[in-house]
């Protein structure tokens, strides 16, 4: 069978032309990279699990009125999504100090923040996604002031929703990354919607009782039991396929 036209291949996903104008198919791969692609590998079954986990979170967000690119899951590795113009910002929300923030400021991982932080990075692999101030994003014309207000407000609402979702299944949401895009809605209005994915690739998720890491840090830091961590998140969210992953990988 002839494949659809491939439009873009990233580190963890492939985008194909969708069945209708304004749509795309987002395909989730098992490939994993870290440290700006200096470390490469594969996490068996990750694509399937991230597809299911991201579907769970995006559909939940839609129910609380956050517009997203998600239309429907097509199969175990693919979703039908709305085509957007991606805003070149990685929007990072932090509840607990970890990763690059811990390193940059010399603070131990694990300090709970008094208030959540929304951080912006310029989405540019060649530059290693550098941290930028909101003023950079505005002055360089990447977003308007109104768009930035919307993005920040949405990011905090996503955080509230996800903190509760994960707390309910015994997981601490440490931090995560979001991407947003511009989309022309049914009324011909340009709106900002949530795009990309939300999964253990893009979040830090710690078990509340043991503080065990259940996310991509297991791959980045060679902690072992990487596949198991992704499966555990899917299992707790109630989206692990019945009969196990072997049938669908
Ligand atoms: N993150 C991501 N993609 C990136 C950079 C970060 O999904 O290109 C996620 C990462 O998994 C973590 C959060 O954003 O949940 C904050 O990442 P951080 O800035 O600490 O960078 P890292 O330590 O991952 O390099």
**Residue 119, strand partner residues:** 92
Find out whether the beta carbon of 90 lies less than 6 Å from any atom of ligand 1: yes
Q: Whole-angstrom Cα distance, residue 229 to residue 227?
A: 5
Average pLDDT of the residues of the chain: 96
How remote is the CA of residue 202 from the centroid of ligand 1, in Å?
6
Where are the chain's structural domains? 6-84+226-244, 85-207
Q: Whose CA is nearest to atom 19 of ligand 1?
A: 100
Find out whether the beta carbon of 102 lies less than 6 Å from any atom of ligand 1: no
Distances (CA, A) of 175 to 95, 121, 206, 248: 6, 14, 10, 29
Which residues, in sequence order, are CB contacts of 105 under 8 Å at separation 6+? 97
Tell me if 6-84+226-244 shares its fold with 85-207: no
Whose tokens are 């659809």? That residue is 4
Whose tokens are 């069978």? That residue is 1
The mean per-residue pLDDT over the stretch 58-78 comes to: 98
Residue of 131, 171, 175, 199 with the most ligand 1 atoms within 8 Å of its CB, for mutation? 175
Q: Whose CA is nearest to atom 23 of ligand 1?
A: 99
User: What pLDDT, in 10s, does the model give residues 201-246?
Assistant: 999 999 999 999 999 999 999 999 999 999 999 999 999 998 877 6
- Rounded to two decimals, what is the model's pTM? 0.97
User: What pLDDT, in 10s, does the model give residues 133-165?
Assistant: 999 999 999 999 999 999 999 999 999 999 999
With 60 as the cut, is the pLDDT of residue 130 above it?
A: yes
Query: Would you put residue 36 in left (φ > 0), alpha (ψ -120 to 50) or beta?
Result: left
How remote is the CA of residue 185 from the centroid of ligand 1, in Å?
30
With 60 as the cut, is the pLDDT of residue 249 above it?
A: no
How remote is the CA of residue 117 from the centroid of ligand 1, in Å?
14
CATH H-level, domain 6-84+226-244: superfamily: Phosphorylase Kinase; domain 1 (3.30.200.20)
Query: What pLDDT is attached to residue 1?
Result: 47
CATH architecture classification, 85-207: 2-Layer Sandwich (3.30)
Q: Whole-angstrom Cα distance, residue 105 to residue 101?
A: 6
User: What pLDDT, in 10s, does the model give residues 86-119?
Assistant: 999 999 999 999 999 999 999 999 999 999 999 9
Q: Helix (H, G, I), strand (E, B), or coil: what is residue 41?
A: strand
Find out whether the beta carbon of 177 lies less than 6 Å from any atom of ligand 1: yes
């Amino acid at each position: 069978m002839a494949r659809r036209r491939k439009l873009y291949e990233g580190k963890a996903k492939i985008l194909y032309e969708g069945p209708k104008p304004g749509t795309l198919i987002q395909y989730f791969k098992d490939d994993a990279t870290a440290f700006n692609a200096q470390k490469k590998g594969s996490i068996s079954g990750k694509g399937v699990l991230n597809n299911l986990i991201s579907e769970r979170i995006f559909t939940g967000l839609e129910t609380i009125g956050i517009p997203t690119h998600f239309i429907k899951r097509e199969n175990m590795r693919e979703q039908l999504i709305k085509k957007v113009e991606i805003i070149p910002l990685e929007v990072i929300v932090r509840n607990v100090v970890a990763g690059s923030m811990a390193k940059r400021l010399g603070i131990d991982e694990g300090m709970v923040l008094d208030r959540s932080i929304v951080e912006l990075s310029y989405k540019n692999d060649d530059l290693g996604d550098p941290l930028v101030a909101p003023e950079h994003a505005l002055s360089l014309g990447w977003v308007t002031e109104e768009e930035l207000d919307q993005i920040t407000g949405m990011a905090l609402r996503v955080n509230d929703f996800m903190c509760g979702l994960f707390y309910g299944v015994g997981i601490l949401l440490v931090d995560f990354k979001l991407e947003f895009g511009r989309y022309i809605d049914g009324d011909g209005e340009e709106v900002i919607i949530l795009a990309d994915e939300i999964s253990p690739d893009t979040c830090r998720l710690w078990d509340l009782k043991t503080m065990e890491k259940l996310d991509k840090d297991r791959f980045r830091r060679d902690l072992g039991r990487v596949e198991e961590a992704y499966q555990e998140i899917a299992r707790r969210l109630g989206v692990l396929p019945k009969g196990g992953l072997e049938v669908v990988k």
